[in-house]
Structure 1
Amino acid sequence: MKIPFLGAPAAPLDPALVAPMSTAARPELTGGRRVGVLVQHGFTGNPVSMRPWAEDLAARGYAVEMPLLPGHGTRWQDMNRTSWADWVATVDRAVETLVAENDVVVAVGLSMGGALCLRMAADRGDDLAGLVLVNPAVDTLRKDVKLLPALQHVVPAMPGIANDIKKPGADEHGYPMTPLKAAASMFAGYAELRKDLPRITIPVLYFRSAEDHVVDISSSRALNAGLSSKDFEERVLEDSFHVATLDNDAPRIFAEAAEFIERVTGQQQG
């Protein structure tokens, strides 16, 4: 096997660019209830991909916790020293903060961030009123994933998956490489998550891009077959690729997600 040339280590991303976000609730804008929202980015990404959505949610009066996952937002090499368990623990702490400080909490996530939201719903569904998922990853049709347990010990990384965006000029500032130890851990986490999907009974709003070059149709099939939620809706995005939160359909996602959050959190307006 030919090991790809990885070149010199890239300069780390600007910490200010990829900084996490934490805001307090403004119940005067949300019918008197303190509503918290977990906002979670995906694999090899960082809060850049979710910041416009997080800012939209904060402007609507929601408390926002948008953590930066361990190994992300620096250099791709750092990810190979972290794992699915580390990412789950980080998201769990963010949910703990939101639950302690608010009356009701929902979670929104992109790609692996969506999977982490699903993990929270399976593990602590009583703490969440609903989920909004954008191109969540829980499965794959790729055959080479089966090689990851062995390949991770031979090759540190392969070409990256960042910037699958249709809108010209948009940039999620993701890693240029896919770290294979981290990827192997992620797919193992997905396998366990799929077993636990039937434990998820809370409302779920699911956005899926019609053309996505990162997450394939197997994740949609797994969610439709596995979730026990009786309040589940899948909506197709026709004008965006994988990172739809920075793409042409972003305004639609933000608006429809806000309607969903208002409904499932029981806000009384006016």
Structure 2
Amino acid sequence: MPVLPGAEPYRHDGGETGVLVCHGFTGTPQSMRPWAEYLAAQGLTVSLPLLPGHGTRWEDMAVTGWQDWYAEVDRELTALTERCARVFVCGLSMGGALALRLAALHGEAVSGVAVVNPLNRIHGLAAQALPVLRHLVPTTKGLVGDIVKPGATEVGYDRVPLHAAYSLRRFTQRLDGELPQVTQPLLLMHSTVDHVVSPADSARILSRVSSTDVTEILLEHSYHVATLDHDADRIFEESYAFFARLAPSLGKEGTATGG
């Protein structure tokens, strides 16, 4: 099945510091590529995978679940740790949740976590109905494109497969119990107005993790897909400063020139 234009995975072979970048539910690497390319330009080794079932058609996603999505980022993290001396994880929305689980389960292999509008739970009455509803209705309206910036668009599905949404709900329930295992430095950036993920999710995550080095940044000029919105440059710069503080060798490695 052909990949949607712009949805291709992205990798860059840079220095000894690596970053794994995780996209969101029904989204694609396109929403994260400017962030990944910015980090690559600073000399980091970057991996931005396309999650299983994403980036083609929603029917492909309907037969995947959270175990598939997590297994993909877990493999990418292992590859980065074999290549790099220090590895960070980043994510948007569900990608943030995946990044947090990597930190919870991999301990010292993850040096720090930077997340944007991370998902913690599926809210609303519809979420409670998912166990039954998914057998009656295949899809609901899509989530992509929650952006303030004129002309900015997100590549992703215009429908949400409910089997996948049910699996995502189960994943968030599991992750909530694992959050106390997150001890790494954490940079959490979230929009003050978000039509996809409740700001309460960020508050819940901050209250559950065991990290003592925590930075919270409010994004006041963006909606959910802040990595493509007015606050994108701030996200990129704040994350790099966060990584450079934790990996002092970053500034000495020089910048990358390739793609």
1:110 aligns with 2:92: yes
Aligned to 2:113: 131
Length, aligned pairs only: 252
Aligned to 2:161: 179
Indicate the percent of aligned positions where both proteins have the same amino acid. 46
The equivalent position to 1:262 in structure 2, one of 231, 244, 256, is 244
Paired residue secondary structure (1:267): helix
Aligned to 2:256: none
Q: TM-score, normalised by structure 1?
A: 0.90
Distance 2:128 2:200 in 1: 15
Distance 1:191 1:147 in 2: 15
The equivalent position to 1:75 in structure 2, one of 47, 57, 66, is 57
- 1:45-56 matches, within 5 Å, as 45-56=27-38
Q: TM-score, normalised by structure 2?
A: 0.94
Verify the 8 A CA contact 2:29 2:48 in the aligned structure 1.
yes
Give the letter aligned to residue 160 of structure 2.
Answer: T
Deviation at 1:173, TM superposition (A): 1.1
- Give the direction of change, closer, same or farther, for the CA distance of 1:60–1:269 in structure 2 (3 Å limit): closer
Listed one character per residue, the Cα deviations across residues 88-128 of structure 1 (whole Å, up to 9, x for unaligned) are: 10000000110000000001100000000001011102111
Give the letter aligned to residue 213 of structure 2.
Answer: D
Verify the 8 A CA contact 1:141 1:218 in the aligned structure 2.
no
Deviation at 1:269, TM superposition (A): 3.8
Q: Could you say which structure has the larger radius of gyration? A: 1
Bigger shift: 260-269 or 42-51?
A: 260-269
Structure 1 unmatched ranges of 5 or more:
1-10, 27-33
Distance 2:186 2:233 in 1: 19
- 1:8-47 matches, within 5 Å, as 13-14=3-4, 16-26=5-15, 34-47=16-29
Verify the 8 A CA contact 1:139 1:222 in the aligned structure 2.
no
Distance 2:79 2:251 in 1: 25
Root-mean-square deviation over aligned CA pairs: 1.3
Paired residue secondary structure (1:194): helix
Deviation at 1:21, TM superposition (A): 1.0
Verify the 8 A CA contact 2:61 2:164 in the aligned structure 1.
yes
1:141 aligns with 2:123: yes
Structure 2 unmatched ranges of 5 or more:
253-259
Deviation at 1:143, TM superposition (A): 2.2
The equivalent position to 2:141 in structure 1, one of 144, 148, 159, is 159
Verify the 8 A CA contact 2:117 2:199 in the aligned structure 1.
no
Give the letter aligned to residue 223 of structure 2.
Answer: F
Give the letter aligned to residue 58 of structure 1.
Answer: A
Deviation at 1:268, TM superposition (A): 6.2
Distance 1:13 1:121 in 2: 29
